[in-house]
Structure 1
Amino acid sequence: MTRQAHPDAALRPNAPQGAPKKRAGDDLTVARRVLSQEVAGLEALAQALGPSFIAALDRIEAVPGRVVVTGIGKSGHIGRKIAATMASTGTPALFVHAGEASHGDLGMITREDAVLALSNSGDTPELADIIAYTRRFAIPLIALTSRADSALARQADVTLLLPRAEEACPMGLAPTTSTTMMIAMGDAVAVALLERKGFTATGFRELHPGGQLGKRLLSVADLMHASTELPLVTPGTRMGDVLLEMTAKHFGCCGVIDKKGRLVGIITDGDLRRHMSRDLLEATAETVMTPHPRTIRPNVLAVEAVRIMNGDEQERPITVLFVVEEERPIGILHIHDCLRAGVV
Structure 2
Amino acid sequence: QVREHLRRTEQLAMAGQMLSAIAAELREPICEIRLQAEALLERQSDSLTAQEIRRIARHAGQTAETVDRLVGFARTDRTEIATFDLNTLLRGLLQLRDSAHRTRGIEVQADWNRASVFVEGVPAQLEEAMLQLLFQAEQTAHRLTLVTREAGGSALIRFDFANPESNAELALCRSLLRAHGGDLTISIEGFGIELPAVAAPVIRIPKPLAPGVSSRPMTILVIEPDEASQRRLLTGLGEAGHRVVPVTSAEEGMDLLRRIHFDAAFCATRLSGMKWLDFFEAARPQLSAFVLVVEGFDAFPRTEGIRILRKHWEASELLITLTAVTQQPLPVA
TM-score norm. by structure 1 comes to 0.25
The structure showing larger relative contact order (alpha-carbon pairs under 8 Å, at least 6 residues apart) is: 1
User: Bigger radius of gyration, 1 or 2?
Assistant: 1
Between structures 1 and 2, the one with greater strand share: 2
TM-score by length of 2: 0.26
